[in-house]
Amino acid sequence: MLGIILAAGMGTRMKSSQPKVMHELVSHPLLEWVLNSFEHLIEDKHCDKIAVVIGENMPALKTLVARWSLEKGIEVRLFYQKERLGTGHAVKMAMPAITELKDAEPVYILCGDVPLIKSETLKKMLLVYQGGDIDAAVLTVEKEDPSGYGRIVKDQNDTIKKIVEHKDATPEQLSIKEINSGMYLVKAASLRESLNLLKNDNRQCEYYLTDIVEWMDKNGGKVISVITDDHYEVSGINNRYQLSLLEKVARKRINKAHMMNGVTMIDPEQVYIDPQVSIEPDCIIEPMTIVKGKVSIGRNCIIGPMTQIEDSVIGEGNRIERSHLSGVRVKNNVKIGPFARLRENTVLEDNVKIGDFVETKKTTVGKGSKAQHLSYLGDTTIEEDVNVGAGTITCNYNGFSKSQTLIEKEAFIGSNTSLVAPVKIGKGAIVGAGSVIVRDVPEDCLSIARGKQSNKEKRASELKKKYKKERNG
């Protein structure tokens, strides 16, 4: 089976320099949503080939297709529509792939700017196709106001005779509520022959794909409709306003699926979750939370409010409040925030506490360790049961390269300490507050590295008088 996606349009109404299908819906390009609709058909061994028809000079689109093809393990071929001469002409550009098919093999034709098409609907179309001797199945929907859409004209046997554009319809045809979605499942032999006989004798001088339906009917073929009751599923995107409307629909569906699976959302309209995110039951997601990329969240977590998590693995029983995590692995029963920033390659073991205004990068924090206030920990390994005092900084960068800091188990780092890497703090050691540590601290050692304090009697009042006089001129 072959799937064809039409993606050559630049989308001038998007007012953009990038192809329309590369605009993002819930953090993913429109084309990726349509490609993903084939996922279940690929898994079930129904679909083994995909063709994408694109325009010239679309490097980002080519990169997306190559990545998706590699991830899914399926061949995706690109075909170029150099001149935009209509939908029929676009499908004809994929004729080399169509020609390779057996006569009875089905061909899906989907639109790259209709992102919410469901895998279940594609399966339904396939079942209808397999259940009868038909040449094509057209995905349709009934609209109360069908103005502007192509009408589905049927006979008394519910067979489609033709698809008539709104501007060409008779008054009787204009009363038809069933409209064309622009998506089809067609027998390869019928598609090959009808495409080769398409004509462009119309005002636009374009080759319309809809004309294949009338050709099949006149040549003894049979075309039927598969009706969906989901209007959004067949909604195309022509401008940024329409994109925003479908963004809300897609996010609502994603959130509903999580809530039906046992996730609580205090206010789902203020929760933004990407489609590939996994959340286990009994989690609570609070308002103004954003979960992006490949994220998994274990049971009994409380996330938010005002939290962003990206490309991270979150274990069970964690509390993450008003914080930003990217590329992080969090084990179990960890408390993060408020206002923490955890960056790439941070690992937090069980029962860790990371508090307000703490930043980490390439850092592992061992079981039961704490850094609760105003610290930067970079290129650092912190073992078990370590206390990192407020204002501690690991000075990991010398302007040319990064160096490592190791804090062994049960060490105590006093407030406002600078650890100049490379450096090691031994097991059970104590570093006095305000220290600048430039050499290793041995195990069970008290290390203090600060200047000698000097107290000058009655000097404070004299300085105040001096500064006041200088200020007043």
Report the catalytic residues.
373
Contact predicate 146/167, CB 8 Å: no
Q: Where does 233-363 have alpha helices with state H?
A: 240-260
- Pairing type for strands 436-437 and 418-420 reads parallel
Structure tokens at 12: 């001038």
Structure tokens at 471: 């200020």
For residue 376, give every residue at least 6 positions away whose Cβ sits within 8 Å of its Cβ, in sequence order, or none: 358, 359, 360, 392, 393, 394
Round to whole Å and give the CA distance between 77 and 93. Answer: 11
3-state helix, strand, coil in the chain (%, to 5): 25, 30, 45
Round to whole Å and give the CA distance between 442 and 173. Answer: 89
Three-state DSSP class for 443? Answer: coil
Structure tokens at 139: 């995905």
Burial class (CB in 10 A: 0-12, 13-18, 19+), 179: buried
| DSSP result, 376-440 | EEEEEEE-TT-EE-TT-EEE-B-SS-B--EEE-TT-EE-TT-EEESSEEE-TT-EE-TT-EE-S-
Round to whole Å and give the CA distance between 191 and 293. Answer: 39
